Structure 1
Amino acid sequence: MSRLNAKGSLLAGTLAAIGASACCLGPLVLLSLGFGGAWIGRLTAMALFRPAFMAAALLFLALAFRELYFPSRACEPGSACRDKPTLKRQRLIFWGVALLSLGLLAGPWAAPLFY
């Protein structure tokens, strides 16, 4: 995997986490912003797809983790994986995205506390 694929894994993991939380956090966010209507209740139909989105999010986050901490091939001199500040920044971004994604995944369990 190249550095671009690690970024793609992070993006895909974040999008999957958003999809996994759309069934429960979506209505909560819309209601808190002042939107209302019976159509908001239809967002709960996304709950059927939540396990698939959760699995995809965790898979993509694991792929990004593997790429950042256990590179599959040797780094060429001057490449981004050899540059310590770049690697440190990529790992910091990974942990920020991972915490955000895990928060989104855990959100539906915490959402009933706010209703």
Structure 2
Amino acid sequence: MRPHRATIGSLLMGAAAALGASACCAGPLLLVVLGVGGAWGSRLSALQPFQPLFVVVSVAFFAVAFRKLYVRAEACATGEACAVRSVRHRQRVIFWVVVPAALTLMSFPLYASLFY
């Protein structure tokens, strides 16, 4: 896999795991706010035992993305997308947009009682 795709892949997988971590708590609230009701929405609470696992997986993927972006930025051949400074800068901006949003979602069970 190319270095820039591995970084984006790590970010996407981390964001997906963060969504999984918040599905038990934020999912039903979001469905109610959107006007989508039904008993099936309450079944998302069955994911609550897996929430710590989703958090660990998400943090691991974000750590890999951070490592690829900052600690060990791979040397790229001329002409590769990762050799262009604007691409690396854009990836870093996306990283710092996605990570706080994911952390907010993952920590939702801590402040969910304020909404229910």
Structure 1 equivalent of residue 107 of structure 2: 106
Structure 2 equivalent of residue 34 of structure 1: 35
Structure 1 equivalent of residue 63 of structure 2: 62
Q: Distance in 1 between matches of 2:97 and 2:73?
A: 23
**Cα shift readout 1:29-82 (whole Å, capped 9, x = no counterpart):** 111112223332221110011111111100000100100112364332343343
Structure 1 equivalent of residue 15 of structure 2: 14
Gaps (5+ residues) in structure 2? none
Superposition CA RMSD, Å: 1.7
Q: Distance in 2 between matches of 1:40 and 1:75?
A: 46
TM-score normalised by L of structure 2: 0.88
Bigger shift: 84-93 or 5-14? 84-93
Bigger shift: 24-33 or 75-84? 75-84
Bigger shift: 104-113 or 61-70? 104-113
Bigger shift: 67-76 or 98-107? 67-76
Q: Is the 8 A contact 2:14 2:61 kept in 1?
A: yes
Look up the equivalent residue of 1:106 and give its one-letter code. S
TM-score normalised by L of structure 1: 0.89
Look up the equivalent residue of 2:31 and give its one-letter code. L
Q: Distance in 2 between matches of 1:102 and 1:66?
A: 18
Gaps (5+ residues) in structure 1? none
Q: Is the 8 A contact 2:3 2:82 kept in 1?
A: no
